[in-house]
Structure 1
Amino acid sequence: MFVNFWEDVVEYGPGFLAATVVVLGVTIASILVSWVCGLLGALGKQSRFAPIRGVASFYVWFIRGTPTLVQVFIVYFGMPQIGIKLSPVVAGIIALGVSSGAYVAETIRAGLSAIPKGQFESSLALGMTRQGMMIRIILPQVLRIILPSLTNEAISAVKNTSLLSTITVVELTLFAQLMIATTFRPFDFYIAAALIYLVITSVLSQLSAFFERRYARFS
């Protein structure tokens, strides 16, 4: 059985490599989208303007209260109904990014709450603008606090790419399913896909640990 497993890995290795590239590309793009959405959502929930707070709160409430797979279907299958048609990859990136962004927003909001209010007041008293204060003083500290949570969300983003197999994005899960339909060897291909996911998430965990140690050294 193990001989056949390695034979399959070698024979279909290029296909697995291509699918892994898709996973990495979608993950990186969706993480960037999630950070933008998360930052806007966190700042929106702390805005002094009620309409902005309401929109941000609704975004976080709706996304966290509905399944990610349904959100993928809304973007890919639902948006064309209102005249917006997206490719499977673009729809997947937007759906996963917006979905993850709601959790990132709560993570950033928690990080902002952990910063003593005196730092906000002192920065403004020194004549800094709010934008300058956030970029130079507050956000670097928030990043150090929320880095572990951001890593967990990035790992979830990697695993959530498997949901895009439902909208014909040929990532690891769909590639494995296509090969299983040809070879009738589900154990081999699902195990191979699982091992690749495991390698990617393990590398992310190690990178997070490395940056946490660096932040701790300079804090």
Structure 2
Amino acid sequence: MDYWIEPLRYIAFGTGMTVMLTFGAAIIGIVLAVPLLLMARSRFTALRGLYHAFVHIVRGVPTLVWLFIAFFGVTQIGIVLDPITSAMLTLGMIATANMAEIYRGGMQAIPAGQWEAAHALSLDRSATARDIIAPQLFRAVSPSVATQVIGLLKDSALVSTIGVADLVFRAGLMTQNYGNGLVMFAFAGLIYLALSLPVGALSRYVHARITRRYAVV
């Protein structure tokens, strides 16, 4: 039993890197998707076109390819990024595109009459957005946002390909040193599972709380 303690402990130390990349990218996506949503709903065709171009290009290229572009490709134009920065920028960009589409879908699920009713009650646009639209939007998108965070958690395993010492990278290294990849990677998989389950549970809790608190359509 003692034989496994050191390699499994070494793998477990990669949890911090995995969590940092996952939730750091999620925060980037949640924040930067807001201006993208405004672009998607703009009355200017050019802004809407830029939005759709960004989303389709980012989502249409595999995550692994974007990682290699961010780490290996940009060196051709004189930009040198360390592995962690490359990983964070890549996952953050992908999260931004996906979150923006989630927000856009949530806004489409809210009837336009909500704005008209608020205007009839003499509420300005900021108050309407804050007190009426935002709660409904948050309720509509919270399950999809949680799914996206879990997807980021799984995608973060790809950062091992550019040398980031996450769970997968450490499990691979311990497999080389100690053998028995089944145990090493199964242990890493259990950690991923342990990280993803609370995200889903928190999403269901928040969704239920918002549903009880706010009137929904």
- Structure 2 length normalisation: TM-score? 0.91
Supply the AA of the counterpart residue of 1:80: T
What CA distance in whole angstroms lies between the structure 2 residues aligned with 1:215 and 1:186?
Answer: 44
The answer to whether structure 1 residue 65 and structure 2 residue 76 are counterparts is no
Q: Return 144-153 or 39-48, whichever deviates more.
A: 39-48
**54, 66, 86: which is aligned to 2:49?**
54
What CA distance in whole angstroms lies between the structure 1 residues aligned with 2:80 and 2:47?
Answer: 28
Supply the AA of the counterpart residue of 2:150: I
List per-residue Cα deviations over 1:120-161 (Å, max 9, x = no partner): 2333452514x4433333222101111111110000011111
Flag the 1:71–1:132 CA change in 2: closer, same or farther, 3 A.
farther
Q: Return 114-123 or 191-200, whichever deviates more.
A: 114-123
Is the 8 Å Cα contact of residues 43 and 109 (structure 1) preserved in structure 2? no
Supply the AA of the counterpart residue of 2:212: R
**156, 165, 170: which is aligned to 2:160?**
165
SS of residue paired to 1:85? coil
What CA distance in whole angstroms lies between the structure 1 residues aligned with 2:78 and 2:194?
Answer: 40
**24, 38, 55: which is aligned to 1:29?**
24
Residues 169-184 of structure 1 aligned to structure 2 (within 5 Å) = 169-184=164-179
**127, 141, 145: which is aligned to 2:140?**
145
The answer to whether structure 1 residue 134 and structure 2 residue 129 are counterparts is yes
Match of 1:214? 209
Is the 8 Å Cα contact of residues 39 and 105 (structure 1) preserved in structure 2? yes
Is the 8 Å Cα contact of residues 12 and 188 (structure 2) preserved in structure 1? no
Match of 1:110? 105
Shift of 1:43: 2.1
Shift of 1:164: 0.3
| Alignment length (residue pairs) | 213
List per-residue Cα deviations over 1:74-132 (Å, max 9, x = no partner): 12222232333222111111101111222211111110011111222333452514x44
- Structure 1 length normalisation: TM-score? 0.90
The answer to whether structure 1 residue 205 and structure 2 residue 200 are counterparts is yes
Compute the RMSD of aligned alpha carbons: 1.8
Instruction: Structure 2: state its 5+ residue gaps.
Output: none
Shift of 1:61: 0.8
Is the 8 Å Cα contact of residues 158 and 197 (structure 1) preserved in structure 2? yes
Match of 2:181? 186
Instruction: Give structure 1 regions of 4+ aligned residues with deviation exceeding 3 angstroms.
Output: 122-125
What CA distance in whole angstroms lies between the structure 1 residues aligned with 2:156 and 2:123?
Answer: 45
What CA distance in whole angstroms lies between the structure 2 residues aligned with 1:88 and 1:124?
Answer: 50
What CA distance in whole angstroms lies between the structure 1 residues aligned with 2:68 and 2:34?
Answer: 25
Supply the AA of the counterpart residue of 2:11: F
Flag the 1:124–1:76 CA change in 2: closer, same or farther, 3 A.
farther
**114, 118, 121: which is aligned to 2:116?**
121
Instruction: Structure 1: state its 5+ residue gaps.
Output: none
Match of 2:73? 78
SS of residue paired to 1:115? coil
